[in-house]
Amino acid sequence: MINQRKKISSYLAEIIVIIVGITVSFFLNDWKESNNLKDQKSQLILDIQEDLRADSVYFSRLLYSYQLMGKSHDSLLAGRLDSFNRDSLTLFYDHVTTYLTFNRRTRSYNILSNNDDLKIQPKDTSLRMFMNLHNYVYRTLDEWLFMEKEFIFKEVNPYLNENSPFIVHDPENNSYSGDAFYELRKKDQFLNYLQTGKFYKEMITEVLVEGSMYLNKTKKSINQEVSAQLSN
């Protein structure tokens, strides 16, 4: 009877040891996963910082380019027949046929979008701002850039190919002759294209100005996150 009790006690002790071992193993595994997720999020913040830095540079270049092209449209629409020199006229004329794209960084955005473990929590203000930047600001800019491209590619360029001489500067760069402007400006269709082109340039510039402010706020918030990480 005593031996039987000892056996039962031994079995119970073994079961307790096993349960304790499983419990400890579970908590250790959960702790490792939690730390691993924390490390992933920390690295993601650093990646976002790099992506935003690159996006900011490209954004600034786009804004400068569209402000410049907008001024070219203003000059062509001003009606000054004799005030253009040949070089500036050709440059202004080229801007009528120019459209650009926004080559943003998508690495960290794709990671955050496709990794279910990296869910944005209510306290993750910086990450929410970053996602809004891509999902709203960048998407709005893409839509305007696409509409402008369609307008120039499908309407303006075919019209100029038919009505304006085409010159080649070198094997890589070509241009419409700016001198043709003096004849084309007499036609309502061309002036309508200039007005529409100016509208696109102004709208894209406005999106870029507003977007730059939100981009800078997001950068500031992410930079604060990085500083907090480094201080811990």
pLDDT digits (tens, 9 = 90+) for 166-212: 776 655 567 788 888 888 888 999 999 999 999 999 999 999 999 99
Amino acid 31: pLDDT:
44
Give the global pTM. 0.79
Say whether pLDDT at 27 is over 60.
no
More confident residue, 175 or 77: 77
Name residues whose C-beta falls within 8 Å of residue 223's C-beta, 6 or more positions apart in sequence. Answer: 49
At 75, the pLDDT band (50, 70, 90 cuts) reads confident
Amino acid 179: pLDDT:
81
Nearest to 201 by CA among 76, 67, 104: 67
**Tokens standing for 14?**
């073994």
CA distances from 99 to 38, 105, 178, 181, 182 (A): 42, 20, 18, 19, 23
Sign of CA dihedral 30, 35, 39, 44: positive
pLDDT digits (tens, 9 = 90+) for 121-146: 767 788 899 999 999 999 999 999 99
Cα–chain center distance at 183 = 40
Nearest to 34 by CA among 157, 130, 118: 118
